[in-house]
Structure 1
Amino acid sequence: MDLTKQNRIIFHLDMNSFYASVEQAHDPSLKGKAIAVAGNPKERRGILVTCSYEARAKGIYTTMSVWEAKRKCPELILLPPNFERYRAASKAMFDILRSYTQLVEPVSIDEGYMDVSDVDMDGDAVAFAKSIQQRIIRELDLPCSIGIAPNKFLAKTASNMKKPMGITVLRKREVPHKLWPLPVIEMHGVGESTSNKLESLGIKTIGQIANANPDLLKSKLGKSGTRLHNRSHGIDNRAVDPESIFETKSVGNSTTLPYDETNIDELRKVLRKLSSKVASRLDSKNLAGRSITIHIRDANWKNKTRSKTVINRLFKEEDISQLSIQLFESSWEDEPIRLLGVTVNNVFDKGESMEQLSIFNFEEHAKEEPILRLVEQLQDKFGKTIIKRGMKIKKNPSLESKTSFSKDFLDDHDNRK
């Protein structure tokens, strides 16, 4: 099928059941068997990170608890995660993609985009995708699905249409026929919260998003409303950017509690511990944020989030802890809690922003005024670069600096160092 006449040809490559597939490639005796990679199976918090397609055929799915999965499928083989093995497989996969073009954008450990618009494919994008898919199988013994489209949104959507080992083409003109009848929750970028907001507006399908008043969507959902309206029409102008994945936008941490918790003192203790980890990670990256979000999952697996934007830089443990507890207490209705999470959003380099003055911190800054005057005098005499306020120290990376494993692996792709 010839797609080379399109302005852009974007591939979205999605590895199929990645962790489980890596384990099967490492140990061929596991092939054809129901396997799952899970956390600690001795604790209730143990959940399935991924499972093989053989396990899925028996009703097993990702995020299912270990005990429930074993009850449903007694022959299920549980394996502990081997992150270094997955990291090595991911790097090998992306190395293969970069052998065709440098316009490769990793999205996570097991998926990424390729812009192959300028690659010589002999006029057949599908055959070219097939050759990539077969090479990954041949060299790494790992299956993948590939979506082919004129933009990232449609390519991502296409790669989800046929798994495992699928190759799907999705053109803009096919959107009304293939996407509009689908429920909104199946649209990439729409989560449970957004789906509920859309449903409150009477919008249940992607087609209804496309036919909705754009101003109404923007007023109710902000910028995401405009973005969803554009994408429901197959419009997405984002470029494949190899550098974009290295931009940290948020730093967070979450934990599943050992048992459903209703004791407020224990819940506060958990939030303080999470806040401490987030603060440590921000410090290790020399980052601060402008807003905070807490994530709550109750015993019935109902999720909700609460957010707050602040005036000043947010990076201190006590500030993060105080805000997270306030947000939680303002929304908690005594229901048993299963999971808590704390995330600082809209992060930026601390050296690139000045703190806003207020009646609460004016006195603190006033004490610094003589120092600031001295700095200005030295800069006027010797130049702006002679002395700067603050000193940016490069910190040694550690486990505390990691926001999540699926992002940590991206260090392997960073050639800027």
Structure 2
Amino acid sequence: MAERKQKGRIIFHIDMNCFYASVEQAHDPTLKGKAIAIAGNPKERRGILVTCSYEARAKGVYTTMAVWEAKRKCPELILLPPNFERYRIASKAIFDILRTYTELVEPVSIDEGYIDVTELVKGREAIELAETIQKRILNELDLPSSIGIAPNKFLAKTASDMKKPMGITVLRKRELPNILWSLPVIEMHGVGESTAKKLNELKINTIGDLAQASEAFLKSNLGKNGARLKDRANGIDNREVDPNSIYDTKSVGNSTTLPIDLVEWDEVRKTIDGLCERVAKRLSAKNLAGHTVSIQIRDADWHNSSRSKTFSNAIYKKSDILEIALDLTKKHWHGEPVRLLGVTVSNVIDRKETAEQLSIFNYEQHAKEEPIIQVVEQLQKKFGKEIISKGMKEKKKPNYESQTSFSKDFLEDHKD
């Protein structure tokens, strides 16, 4: 009898079409059929388009385009400020619909997620179920979506991108050579500009080149990520649909697009100081500490660079984060005009799990604490470990400071 785990999986990737714009059109039907865009403050340079409707895209407007340029291309473009609360309500309603079919639902962003329907359908029933889900979301919420159907998450994600809006696409591993392999590597989900550039330098230009490249060669040049990318190019992805992933916080960061280019160190330092303060507050609110500090710099020509430093001891204090962020910036910023700055603390863990490692710099302090530690251990042995612990165990603060970014905040709506 074949083992159950050998059964092929059926994974859906649900991707909402022009989500913010679609929510606005559902909220105000007079906007339907019109070129609309969601944007920041158009009076500042940070006024860029967060998303736009398909009617706007037909006029050459696209996401991340500057407001002034979008208006030049499409004078009739209707600009709307973002209404994040409205989008969160719509997102929760979408995932509530998905959970009426199965508990195996994994939100990955406010407008997309995976569901594992292996136990619900077989064969062509998968397409019928996808059609039912798509119609329900459209009829009940007035929101269009695309659905990818595949045996794993990577292929399902790839499939959902292949037909928009309102598409349903099935993608099988055996179809990859004909459908994907001739495309440039930048077209593959999970490959960004930086990785694509590295691959091109290695003479790997298409997804097919990547699929057929030597794993040893890829590992030697790209590390573990090289082997992972080769697997993806061959349609291999063993990740499960994990409903509990919403509880995983991997990083806490903050970035800002600047009203004017910064060229003076004092202004750069002041901006980084503010970013580190916000990151430290959010780490505190979530009771987290992290092992890695990263900085992001985008110059006036939109060139992005990032640098990071990892430590054995997890940190969370603003002073520690600031010291590292400033040191990284001094080493890697060469005076070019700065358009955007970001600071992130990653590889985070719950602060109560942190354990400072002894070193020649702190052993004396630990020696002083030794008598106290012995008393604590005696109390714990007699009354239980929860009777006393090192430091203060605070409840996580459910306020603004606990928010990392809107794209992650929506996950709070899915937690029990």
TM over 0.5: yes
Amino acid at match of 1:208: D
Between the aligned partners of 1:313 and 1:404, the Cα distance in structure 2 is 22
Counterpart of 1:127 in structure 2 is 128
Counterpart of 2:281 in structure 1 is 280
Cα gap change, 1:6 to 1:369, in 2 (>3 Å) = closer
Counterpart of 1:183 in structure 2 is 184
Between the aligned partners of 1:36 and 1:238, the Cα distance in structure 2 is 35
Secondary structure, aligned partner of 1:255: strand
Between the aligned partners of 2:342 and 2:59, the Cα distance in structure 1 is 31
The CA deviation at 1:365 is 2.8
**RMSD value, Cα:** 1.5
The CA deviation at 1:390 is 2.5
The CA deviation at 1:201 is 1.4
Note if 1:156 corresponds to 2:161: no
What are the within-5 Å matches in structure 2 for residues 210-359 of structure 1? 210-359=211-360
Between the aligned partners of 1:182 and 1:47, the Cα distance in structure 2 is 29
Between the aligned partners of 2:382 and 2:98, the Cα distance in structure 1 is 53
Between the aligned partners of 2:295 and 2:324, the Cα distance in structure 1 is 9
Note if 1:147 corresponds to 2:158: no
Instruction: Name the stretch that deviates more: 230-239 or 188-197.
Output: 188-197
Question: In the alignment, is the contact (CA less than 8 A) between 1:87 and 1:409 conserved in 2?
Answer: yes
Question: In the alignment, is the contact (CA less than 8 A) between 1:44 and 1:67 conserved in 2?
Answer: no
Between the aligned partners of 1:244 and 1:83, the Cα distance in structure 2 is 22
Counterpart of 2:168 in structure 1 is 167
Question: In the alignment, is the contact (CA less than 8 A) between 2:246 and 2:415 conserved in 1?
Answer: no
Between the aligned partners of 2:361 and 2:177, the Cα distance in structure 1 is 55
The CA deviation at 1:386 is 3.5
Counterpart of 1:74 in structure 2 is 75
Cα gap change, 1:28 to 1:380, in 2 (>3 Å) = closer
Between the aligned partners of 2:191 and 2:239, the Cα distance in structure 1 is 18
Between the aligned partners of 2:215 and 2:337, the Cα distance in structure 1 is 39
Secondary structure, aligned partner of 2:387: coil
Cα gap change, 1:182 to 1:371, in 2 (>3 Å) = same
1:306-325: CA deviation from partner (whole Å, max 9, x where unpaired): 11111211211011111111
1:75-105: CA deviation from partner (whole Å, max 9, x where unpaired): 1110011111111111111111111111110
Question: In the alignment, is the contact (CA less than 8 A) between 1:37 and 1:51 conserved in 2?
Answer: yes
Number of residue pairs matched? 411
The CA deviation at 1:112 is 0.3
The CA deviation at 1:120 is 4.0
Between the aligned partners of 1:14 and 1:57, the Cα distance in structure 2 is 20
Question: In the alignment, is the contact (CA less than 8 A) between 1:261 and 1:336 conserved in 2?
Answer: yes
Between the aligned partners of 1:111 and 1:412, the Cα distance in structure 2 is 14
The CA deviation at 1:364 is 3.1
The CA deviation at 1:155 is 0.1
For structure 2, the 5+ residue unaligned runs are 1-5
Question: In the alignment, is the contact (CA less than 8 A) between 2:288 and 2:349 conserved in 1?
Answer: yes
Instruction: Name the stretch that deviates more: 180-189 or 336-345.
Output: 180-189
Secondary structure, aligned partner of 1:176: helix
Note if 1:116 corresponds to 2:117: yes
Between the aligned partners of 1:164 and 1:282, the Cα distance in structure 2 is 38
Cα gap change, 1:109 to 1:253, in 2 (>3 Å) = same
Counterpart of 2:3 in structure 1 is none
Counterpart of 1:408 in structure 2 is 409
The CA deviation at 1:377 is 2.6
Secondary structure, aligned partner of 2:43: coil
Cα gap change, 1:132 to 1:359, in 2 (>3 Å) = same
Question: In the alignment, is the contact (CA less than 8 A) between 2:299 and 2:336 conserved in 1?
Answer: yes
Amino acid at match of 1:46: G
Amino acid at match of 1:184: V
1:289-341: CA deviation from partner (whole Å, max 9, x where unpaired): 11111111110111111111112112110111111111111111211110011
Secondary structure, aligned partner of 2:164: coil
The CA deviation at 1:383 is 4.2
Instruction: Name the stretch that deviates more: 39-48 or 119-128.
Output: 119-128
Counterpart of 1:208 in structure 2 is 209
Normalized against structure 1, the TM-score is what? 0.95
Between the aligned partners of 1:195 and 1:25, the Cα distance in structure 2 is 38
The CA deviation at 1:157 is 0.4
Counterpart of 1:60 in structure 2 is 61
Between the aligned partners of 1:285 and 1:322, the Cα distance in structure 2 is 22
The CA deviation at 1:214 is 0.8
Counterpart of 1:137 in structure 2 is 138
Note if 1:370 corresponds to 2:408: no
Between the aligned partners of 2:71 and 2:383, the Cα distance in structure 1 is 71
Counterpart of 1:92 in structure 2 is 93
Counterpart of 2:48 in structure 1 is 47
Question: In the alignment, is the contact (CA less than 8 A) between 2:14 and 2:147 conserved in 1?
Answer: yes
Question: In the alignment, is the contact (CA less than 8 A) between 1:121 and 1:128 conserved in 2?
Answer: no
Note if 1:36 corresponds to 2:37: yes
Between the aligned partners of 1:252 and 1:144, the Cα distance in structure 2 is 30
The CA deviation at 1:241 is 0.7
Question: In the alignment, is the contact (CA less than 8 A) between 1:6 and 1:150 conserved in 2?
Answer: no
Question: In the alignment, is the contact (CA less than 8 A) between 1:35 and 1:55 conserved in 2?
Answer: yes
Question: In the alignment, is the contact (CA less than 8 A) between 1:39 and 1:80 conserved in 2?
Answer: yes
Between the aligned partners of 1:180 and 1:123, the Cα distance in structure 2 is 26
The CA deviation at 1:411 is 1.3
For structure 1, the 5+ residue unaligned runs are none
Question: In the alignment, is the contact (CA less than 8 A) between 2:160 and 2:169 conserved in 1?
Answer: yes
Counterpart of 1:13 in structure 2 is 14
Cα gap change, 1:91 to 1:380, in 2 (>3 Å) = closer
Secondary structure, aligned partner of 1:306: strand
Amino acid at match of 1:212: A
Between the aligned partners of 1:31 and 1:123, the Cα distance in structure 2 is 33
Instruction: Name the stretch that deviates more: 287-296 or 62-71.
Output: 62-71
Instruction: Name the stretch that deviates more: 36-45 or 359-368.
Output: 359-368
Between the aligned partners of 1:200 and 1:352, the Cα distance in structure 2 is 42
Question: In the alignment, is the contact (CA less than 8 A) between 2:286 and 2:397 conserved in 1?
Answer: no
The CA deviation at 1:378 is 2.4
Instruction: Name the stretch that deviates more: 47-56 or 393-402.
Output: 393-402
Between the aligned partners of 2:255 and 2:368, the Cα distance in structure 1 is 38
